[in-house]
DNA sequence: CGAGTGACGGACG
DNA sequence: CCGTCCGCCACTC
């Protein structure tokens, strides 16, 4: 499985209504400093097969600053923002409030483990 | 094999 | 809270 496919897999794990920075995706892949490659992989999505692109929520990956990438290109940037807002992600000016909407997968995992512990 | 290329990020002033 | 600079690394040619 090449790098792009691993990116797509991880991105598909981001829940509705949450976002993740490019570096966050890279960290989940085990290459915490490969943020730019994550962006490169997502840009390749548009040339990819439609079935592949359809199951990858690419819009949930944004800059760690909270801004969406490629604001220069009106079409895509606006689409990404619209898709996020549709999921309940709120913008403060031109950026997402990362403290509220960034997917904290670590905390999520800990909560699951705690619940299992209480049940036993 | 080496240089070029980014949907990036963090450091710094 | 800006704008800039530079390191990063998978991929291409």
Q: What pLDDT digit, counting tens, does each position of A26-79 carry?
A: 999 999 999 999 999 999 988 777 777 789 999 999 999 999 987 666 677 788
The residue with tokens 């943020």 is A35
* CB proximity A2–strand C (7 Å threshold): yes
Q: What pLDDT digit, counting tens, does each position of A103-119 carry?
A: 999 999 999 999 999 99
* CB proximity A6–strand C (7 Å threshold): no
Rounded Cα–Cα distance for residues A8 and A4 (Å): 6
Q: Are the beta carbons of A25 and A38 closer than 8 angstroms?
A: yes
Q: What pLDDT digit, counting tens, does each position of A78-91 carry?
A: 889 999 999 999 99
A39 nearest nt, CA–C1': B7
Is the entire prediction scored with pTM above 0.85?
A: yes
CA A67 → C1' B12, Å?
21
């Amino acid at each position: 499985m090449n790098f792009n496919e691993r990116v797509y897999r991880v991105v598909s794990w981001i829940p509705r209504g949450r976002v993740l920075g490019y570096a966050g995706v890279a960290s989940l892949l085990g290459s915490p400093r490969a943020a730019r490659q994550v962006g490169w992989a997502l840009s390749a999505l548009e040339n990819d097969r439609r079935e592949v692109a359809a199951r990858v929520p690419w819009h949930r990956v944004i800059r760690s600053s909270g801004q969406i990438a490629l604001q220069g290109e009106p079409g895509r940037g606006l689409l990404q923002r619209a898709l996020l807002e549709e999921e309940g992600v709120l913008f403060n000016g031109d950026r997402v409030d990362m403290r509220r909407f960034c997917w904290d997968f670590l905390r999520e995992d800990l909560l699951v483990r705690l619940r299992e512990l209480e049940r036993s």
